[in-house]
Structure 1
Amino acid sequence: MSRQSSEESFEPSREPSRRSLLRAGAAGAVALTAAGCGFTGSNSAAGAAGSPGSAAAASTEPPIDVKVDGDLVYFNWADYVDPSVFDGFQKEYGVKVVQSNFDSMESMGAKLAAGNKYDIVFPSAKWTQRLAAGGKLHRIDHTALKNAPAIFDHYDYFQDPWYDDASSHSVPFTMYKTGIGWRKDKLGDLTGSWQDLWSPAANGDVFLLDDEDEVLGMAALKLGLAINTADAGDLAKIDAELKNLRPRLRGFSSDDYNNLLNGNALMTQAWSGDMVSVLNQAKDASVYGFQTAREGSPVNTDCYVIPANAEHPGTAMLFIDYMLRPENVTKNIEYIGYPMPVNGTEDAYAKLVAQFPQCVIKTEDLVTNRMFQNGTAAQGHARDAVWTDVKAG
Structure 2
Amino acid sequence: MGFLSEALGRVAPSATVGITQKAREMARAGRDVIALSAGEPDFDTPLHVRQAAIEAMNAGKTRYTNVDGIPELKEAVAAKFRRDNGLEVTAADCFVSSGGKQIIFNALMATLNPGDEVVVPVPYWVSYPEIVRLCGAEPVFAVADASTGFKLTPEVLERAITPATKWLILNTPSNPSGAAYTADELKNLAAVLLRHEHVHILTDDIYEVLVYDGGTFATIAQVEPALQARTLTMNGVSKSHAMTGWRIGYCTGPRQLLGAMTKLQSQSTTNPSSISQWAAVAALEGPQDFLAEWREVFQNRRDLVVAGLTADTGLDCLTPEGAFYVFPSCQRLLGKTSAGGTRLATDEEFVLALLEETGVALVHGMAFGLPGHFRLSYAASNAELEEAVRRIQAFCGGIS
**TM-score interval (norm. to shorter):** under 0.3
Structure possessing the higher radius of gyration over alpha carbons: 2
Give 1 or 2: higher helix fraction: 2
Question: How high is the TM-score relative to the length of structure 2?
Answer: 0.27
Question: How high is the TM-score relative to the length of structure 1?
Answer: 0.27
Higher relative contact order (CA 8 A, sep 6+): 1
